[in-house]
Structure formats: structure tokens, C-alpha cells
Amino acid sequence: TIHGHRPGFPAAPRRRGRVATPRRRSSWRVWQAMRAVAMSAAARRLSMGSRCRAGGGLWRRSMATAPRLIVPRVTGHSGSSERASRLVAGAGLTAIATGMAFSKGRQLGPAACADDLSHELYADEQRTVALFEKCSASVVHVNTFNREAVFRDMKLSLQEIRGGTGSGFVWDEDHIVTNFHVILNADRASVVLADGTTCEAKIAGIEPDSDLAVLKLERGSKRLVPLERGNSTKLHVGQKVLAIGNPFGLDQTLTSGIVSGLGREMQSVSGRPIRDLIQTDAAINPGNSGGPLLDARGRLIGVNTMIASPSGAFAGVGFAIPVNTVVRVASQLVKYGHTKRAYMGIMLAPPHVRKTVNGLLLQVGAKQLQGALVLAVEDGGPANFVGIRGTERRNRGLVLGDEILELNGKTISSEDALLDALEEQEVGKTVSLKIRRRNASRSGDITVEDAVLRLTLSERPQPQAIPGTHRGGAPGDGAQPRFVLGAPDGEVRSRL
């Protein structure tokens, strides 16, 4: 302190009526510079103390014990101006360093940064919390309802009961994507948004073979934000994934895990296999179906659909439909109301029929089936137009239909292989088919002939609604038809 003045604020050199000399003028300029530096440091400490006043006694004690600027007395007889300048420079650097240190220490004070979790959570925890807060707003809760006839008070009336629950996620401002088995056989569906708002929804399109469905909200909202979409072809086993859904009706539940495997195959509700599934150990329970599977950046990489468990509870093996399949299917469901798939107009032999036929061929010493056997050909279809022949039963026995061996050079060994090959083709495209035809002579000899045909694919017909059943209203009120999945027997599953 200088001459009893407040600590940190140097007093002006006393002039005592002397004539101003160059040395005294230099001393006065030095004093002004030192005072400016000291006042700046004090102002910084005061401002930081006011911001951190809510921090409690710890911050006040820190301010009380903070080092203050002590400036040596500088007068006209204290030495050269060069030495005084060095003292000023040293004092200024001390004040600046002290102010910066205290300001840095107080940047994360409770009052200034109350929403900062860096002092409570690790970096990976902060990323997970931020990801959930960002993506959970795009996840919804899907409730389904069924109507049943109830006989009460000598009257027969319809009563609506809750069918089940599932999850979904925002696709755009008007549409929600979920699993097909979530809304299967339901008469009505409602969607609960992340903010608790309940919206009625109707079916925009379904794809049972991929276990996907798109719901259209009756009143869209611009507040809905779709999830960012990733690329399932760039996934790696071992990378971190997160699942958001509503297991057992507990909405907005987050679970995490890793990608346990890629390229898995499971059977869909329609009986057809779903290929290229993502296997994960992130907990997936009843109610998670239809919810999103996200990567560590919050991008959609799959739709949670099923688990493998002997007890029905989660056992560490869950499956998700890859996002590339979801994008292809959902985009068509939103645009057309159905998926456009190539169609040949034939019915193939299911595995058990194929096994029986191979047994008969083995008994007569004929060559067994190597491709997909055609059981029937639809009149007016693409296959009928090029002359493909189906299996027939005649008086003298069974006449086998044509056997499809290749499609555009791709080997066909079963009905599933042909279905997969057709999914890669576009409607209206002309493909080459290699077929094998067996001809039986009157003497019983069987001749085999291979041929190559050119066939133009058409669009697959859409499933028809069951008459007399409706969704979302009473019969005859113009509500949407109720889609009920047919019996998954061989003929239904094999129909292309």
C-alpha cells in the first residue's frame, strides 16, 4: 500500500510545489499507467465476484484471499525512469495473470453456468445425455385398439378395448414409421408424441414382408423433427448403438449396447425371411418394437423389430431392420401407399412340396430339382405371356412345371432366392430367365430341356381388404379397411 490508500490502488506522487522536471513528468506518467492496470484488475475481480455471488462461502473466501497488486512507491528520487518502467511492466503482468486465473476459475460457477454438466458427468456421459435430449423428441408411443361385440343388458354392442402398445419415430411432419406387427389386426391407432400430445392416426401403407408400416397423423405438426438417417452398409460389429422406445408402456426409455452381428436373417410375420438384420445386445423388450436404433452420433441405423429368446423376455439378442431397407420401403409407402415390387405372375413350390417332388424324382432315377419349381401361372401375367408352364395333374400322373435356374445370370436355388433376386429388379424391366422343362413321353421316359426366355416384369398387385371389416370407424362410414394377414401357408407365401 502507498501512503495508506486502498490496497491495489497506488496514490499519485506528491509534488510539494516543486518545478516539473523531465524526471518528475516521467514519474507521473508511470503512476498513471500503474493505476490504470490496478483498476482494471480490481474491476475484473469485482465483476466475477458478482456473477458468482450465488456460489456460497467458497467463492467469497476465494475473493477474500485473492492476491492484490502491491505497487512500490515511485517518486522523483527513486531511480531512473527505465527502472520504473520495468516495475510497471512486472506489476501489470501480475495483475493480468491474476485476473485471467480468477476469471477462468469462475467460468463454471453454479450461477453463471447452471446448465453445464461438465463438472458432474464424464465426457461420454455428456454425449449420451445430449443425444437422448436431441433424439427423444422424435420418438412416439403407438397405442392400438380393437372393437369387440359385447352382450350386455340383453343388448349386443361394440366395445373398444386396448389392443397393444409399441413404438415409432417421426419420418416427416405428417408420418410415423413403426412395425407392421404393432398395428396388425387393430381397428384404431393413436400416437402419443414426446410432449404428451395424443393424435389419431390412420394407415398410410403397410409392408408385411419387411414388417414395416407407415401411419399418417390426422393433424400434422411442424414441431415434429425427423431423425437424421445413417447408412447401414457402413456399420461395424462392436460399434456403440442406442435404442429409444416404450418397453412395457414406459415411454421415452433409453438403452444402449453394441452391434453384435450383421447380416442376420429372421422370419417376418408374413412368413418371408427378413435379411440383413442388425443384431444388438441393447435391451429390446415388448413395446420397443418400431422404435429407432441409433448410432453414437444420433443417426437412425435401424428399426427395432424382434428378439430371440426362449422365455419371451430379453436375453441379450435383439434384431433391427437396417435403415437402408427402411428408407426404400417407407419412401414408397408414403408416396404410393404401397411398395412397388416386380411381379412375374407365378406361384412357386414351398420347401415341403419341393422335398416331396425330389423324393419322387429319386425313385424314378430322374435328375432332382436344382432351381425354383413353378406350381401355377396366373392368366394374363408376364410369365403366361412368354409361355412359362406350371405343374399339372393328369390322368397318368403329375406333370412338373418349369424350373427356374437363373435370373439375369444369378443362380436360383429356391423360392426365397428368386424373391430376393426380384427385389433387386425394377418394375417394367426386361430380364432373362433360364428355365428347365421336363417332358415325359408315353413310354415313361423323361427328357430335360433348358431354355432362355426374355420376360418383362410388371408391378405386384396389392393385398385386398377383407370385406366387411374396417379400421377407424363403423362399417360403411368410409373408414379405412382393416388389413388382416392371411394364413401363412406355402401357397400364400410363394405367390409372387
What positions carry a catalytic annotation? 181, 211, 289
Helices (H), 81-141: 81-105, 123-135
Return the C-alpha cell found at 329. 420401403
Pairing state of beta strands 372-377 and 403-407? antiparallel
CB 472 within 8 A of CB 188: yes
49/117 Cα distance (integer angstroms)? 22
* Strand partners for 454: 432
Given a contact cutoff of 8 angstroms between Cβ atoms, the answer to whether 472 and 202 are in contact is: yes
Taken in order 171, 175, 176, 181, the sign of the CA dihedral is: negative
CA–CA distance, 23 with 13 (Å, rounded to integer): 12
Q: Per-residue DSSP letters for 413-424?
A: -SHHHHHHHHHT
Cβ contacts of 232 within 8 Å, gap of 6 or more:
276, 278, 301, 302, 322, 323, 324, 325
SS3 at position 380: coil
Nearest to 41 by CA among 84, 70, 1, 74: 70
